[in-house]
A and B are shown apart, each in its own frame.
Chain A
Amino acid sequence: MADQHPSPVVTNPWHHLRRYTDARIGLGRAGISLPTQQLLEFQLAHARARDAVHLPLDIDRLTGDLASLPGLTEPGEPVLLHSQAVDRFQYLQRPDLGRRLDDASRERLADRASANGADLALVVVDGLSSSAIQANVAPFLACFLDVLGQTEPDWRLAPLTVVQQGRVAIGDDIGQLLSARAVVVLIGERPGLSSPDSVGIYLTWNPKPGLTDASRNCISNVRPAGLSFDQASERLIYLLREAHRLGLSGVGLKDRTGEVVIDSSTNNKNFLTNDGQS
């Protein structure tokens, strides 16, 4: 029976190539425009990314999750800190303010600093994705602290800090106030459309204000669908031990755990031209 109402949507016969890529290919078209379903899927992804940027960190929930972590040698509640950016609006326009602690935070931190310093300060920062921090920091730390406890049981940890409206470099300020030999910042990365929950990890040896990105090592895209917590922990431990051994971080410290040679396995070839091989 002939369809009385032909579909206004033209599907693309190459749609199944989606199995090879996350790119939004083969979407089909209504006329030459996006079909309604694909339009709304995009809007949902954008809405989630926007929420990741703008929804504030649920501090109570986060501290609850962090309090139950085994392996945190320093007891007590995480220290709650705030940058000089008063709200998200200012934060987005003034990255310089997001790199500095406000006065109340500095006092709070001074009260908790140990006279003997620490080997490592862990700093949790909302950054550009509260969703990333909310969902992924506690499980990552559980994994990392477990590995750290086995490989470097003698390292002394500074009190865990949680910063709102912060940028990466705020860890330098915190690390110095806590007299930490190294600081590791866990921060919500700028959300992508299909990755609203990525955590970035930044290591700085001998932290002090005024350092640039050249002094840091970065592990990016840490989330269940990206770099796994196990892999990220392994790389961070490697970098930390190398930083301790060499007494530096940044461009002088190469991450050799991540050197993967891209091979041409069956899944990685240009099917548009590989005539002789298929």
Chain B
Amino acid sequence: MSSRYVYTLGPRTWRFRNLAELMAKATPARSGDRLAGVIADSAEERVVAQMCLAEVPLKRFLSEALIPYEDDEVTRLILDRHDPLAFQAVEHLTVGDFRNWLLSDLASSEALTGLRPGLTPEMVAAVSKLMRNQDLILVARKCRVETAFRNTIGRPGHLSTRLQPNHPTDDETGIAASILDGLLYGNGDAVIGINPATDNVAQAIKLMRLMDEVIQQYDIPTQSCVLTHVTNTLEAVEQGAPVDLVFQSIGGTQATNESFGFSLATLREAQDAALSLGRGTVGENVMYFETGQGSSLSANAHHGLDQQTCETRAYAVAREFSPLLVNTVVGFIGPEYLFDGKEIIRAGLEDHFCAKLLGVPMGCDICYTNHAEADQNDMDNLLTLLGVAGCTFIMGIPGSDDIMLNYQTTSFHDALYARRALDLRPAPEFEHWLERMGIFDDVRRHEPSAAIPPMFGRRLAALDGEVRRG
């Protein structure tokens, strides 16, 4: 076998068929790669693969596509958009030296911003495989990614939250109750975003109107989103619905995205439609994407790549459309892809690092299902680590319990924990609003008011009166 990926260690020579196999075998262990049959056969083989990968020149990723250019529009997007001028700063480096460079003081925030168009997802995925968790945190912390719609997301020292008021029957009173709870705990500056229980256009429009009315009535500097299929949102725009952000789950291969029912052209069309509404006040980032390791394998669309490399390719799709928000739903997919707290935590840090290095405003749905080997303590750990890493936003849900999707994610309380423990603030416009409305006694000390603010108190009194009359 003529292989370019050969590594000799003492008496033994290790061979890897191609770059895809080398990347997969160099990946820290996780159940999804085992399920796909691409995982290293031993702990030793994994480290040898990492040593071999460390010697691969970054330039190689421009000449050896992991999925052929002819077969995959994500590959075409990646290579067509690559900027050789921006790449000059690191084009002489191997993957191993790239890690050293990223950690060095040569890699300032400004240098990292300038480098972005010169990096491909495969280069970024490769270097992440050589990095320890603390490396992923330290470099991500240096990356600056700011976006804006009705407020400014992603400033250093800030942590935003998506208020997620899901309800198993989309009951409006139930949804309103969760929105109120979240706002009064200072959550919702990234977006108020609902996963609809009934997924059709009429229902989506109804939920969009509900959230838009709340945002307008209380003059909240935030945006809303119904997490429905991109084609549903397009139709909602045509019907005159108040669409702030367009949502779509995305993956890192064309076949994954086809299984999700869209192409890059669909996303372009949806972005144009949302922009045409001109609803942003301080910015024009109108897209919201979700990703997660394992989605390509789950759709049988991974082309033999490891799941973390597929995931990173999704960020090339994301950045093409200048999203306001992207989050990895890291523990949702289940233990056959990420088995336990250790694997979920590692994946969360990888996804955040890779996205930030590519210039994507990455947040994280820090979550687990009840059949994964994980619990609240694992989520506390990942939340704290991501808070240190400068994560853009997290989810906020009443008491960590999503009663519609049946999984656990971070709570409104968790967000306040992270803000207090790490001295992080909500988006500046939203922070002023919390103060102006009397929702927080002291926004700098993250101290909610014990009393209910008058504007909300009146609505509650009206509801209670109605119940008594009824």
B214 touches A273 (CB 8 A): yes
Name the distance in Å between A4's Cβ and chain B's nearest Cβ: 19
A-B contact count (CB 8 A): 174
Say if the beta carbon of B180 comes within 8 Å of chain A: yes
A24 touches B399 (CB 8 A): yes
A271 touches B463 (CB 8 A): yes
- How many Å lie between the Cα of A34 and that of B376 in the bound state? 12
Contact of A272 among B174, B180, B464 (CB under 8 A): B180
A262 touches B170 (CB 8 A): yes
- How many Å lie between the Cα of A7 and that of B210 in the bound state? 37
Chain A residues with Cβ under 8 A from B213's Cβ?
270, 272-273
B398 touches A27 (CB 8 A): yes
Chain B residues with Cβ under 8 A from A23's Cβ?
165, 167, 174, 177-178, 181, 397-399, 401, 403
Question: Which A residue's beta carbon lies closest to that of B207?
Answer: A270
Say if the beta carbon of A49 comes within 8 Å of chain B: yes
Question: Which B residue's beta carbon lies closest to that of A17?
Answer: B177
* B 234-280 contacts with A by CB, 8 A: none
* A 231-275 contacts with B by CB, 8 A: 262, 264, 266-273
Question: Which A residue's beta carbon lies closest to that of B178?
Answer: A23
Say if the beta carbon of A114 comes within 8 Å of chain B: no
Say if the beta carbon of A106 comes within 8 Å of chain B: no
Question: Which B residue's beta carbon lies closest to that of A22?
Answer: B403
Name the distance in Å between B52's Cβ and chain A's nearest Cβ: 27
Contact of B463 among A21, A34, A95, A278 (CB under 8 A): A278
Say if the beta carbon of B381 comes within 8 Å of chain A: no
Question: Which B residue's beta carbon lies closest to that of A226?
Answer: B168
- How many Å lie between the Cα of A164 and that of B399 in the bound state? 34
Contact of A21 among B171, B217, B370, B460 (CB under 8 A): B171
* A 6-21 contacts with B by CB, 8 A: 10, 12-14, 16-18, 20-21
Interface size (A, Cβ < 8 Å)? Answer: 52
Q: Mark A138-161, 1 if CB is under 8 A from B, else 0.
A: 000000000000000000000000
Contact of B462 among A52, A92, A267, A271 (CB under 8 A): A271
Known contacts A14-B460, A273-B217, A278-B462; is-contact A27 B413 (Cβ 8 Å): yes
Most buried by A among B180, B369, B406, B417: B406
Question: Which B residue's beta carbon lies closest to that of A277?
Answer: B466
Interface size (B, Cβ < 8 Å)? Answer: 66
B450 touches A10 (CB 8 A): yes
Contact of A190 among B369, B464, B465 (CB under 8 A): B369
Chain B residues with Cβ under 8 A from A190's Cβ?
334, 369-371, 406
B184 touches A14 (CB 8 A): yes
Name the distance in Å between B77's Cβ and chain A's nearest Cβ: 29
Known contacts A92-B339, A272-B214, A273-B213; is-contact A50 B370 (Cβ 8 Å): yes
Contact of A38 among B397, B399, B420 (CB under 8 A): B399
Question: Which B residue's beta carbon lies closest to that of A39?
Answer: B376
B198 touches A192 (CB 8 A): no
Say if the beta carbon of A181 comes within 8 Å of chain B: no
B448 touches A29 (CB 8 A): yes
B370 touches A52 (CB 8 A): yes
B35 touches A271 (CB 8 A): no
Say if the beta carbon of B400 comes within 8 Å of chain A: yes
Contact of B176 among A22, A50, A272 (CB under 8 A): A272
B339 touches A93 (CB 8 A): yes
Chain A residues with Cβ under 8 A from B179's Cβ?
272
* B 442-470 contacts with A by CB, 8 A: 446-448, 450-452, 456-457, 459-460, 462-466, 470
- How many Å lie between the Cα of A192 and that of B401 in the bound state? 9
Say if the beta carbon of B17 comes within 8 Å of chain A: no
Name the distance in Å between A268's Cβ and chain B's nearest Cβ: 5
Chain B residues with Cβ under 8 A from A46's Cβ?
370, 375-376, 408
- How many Å lie between the Cα of A194 and that of B335 in the bound state? 20
Name the distance in Å between B175's Cβ and chain A's nearest Cβ: 7
B210 touches A262 (CB 8 A): no
Contact of B167 among A12, A21, A29, A128 (CB under 8 A): A21
Say if the beta carbon of A26 comes within 8 Å of chain B: yes
B336 touches A92 (CB 8 A): yes
A24 touches B448 (CB 8 A): no
List 5 tightest A-B contacts by C-beta distance, closest first: A24-B399, A192-B406, A21-B174, A32-B416, A25-B181
A-B contact pairs, 14 of them (CB 8 A): A14-B180, A16-B464, A17-B181, A21-B403, A23-B399, A32-B447, A93-B336, A128-B371, A193-B408, A269-B173, A270-B173, A272-B213, A272-B218, A272-B456
Given A20-B177, A46-B375, A267-B173, output 10 extra A-B contacts at Cβ < 8 Å: A13-B451, A14-B177, A14-B181, A14-B456, A21-B177, A25-B178, A34-B413, A38-B399, A92-B371, A269-B176
Which residues of A come within 8 Å of B, CB atoms? 10, 12-14, 16-18, 20-27, 29, 32-34, 38, 42-43, 45-46, 49-50, 52-53, 92-96, 128, 190-196, 262, 264, 266-273, 278
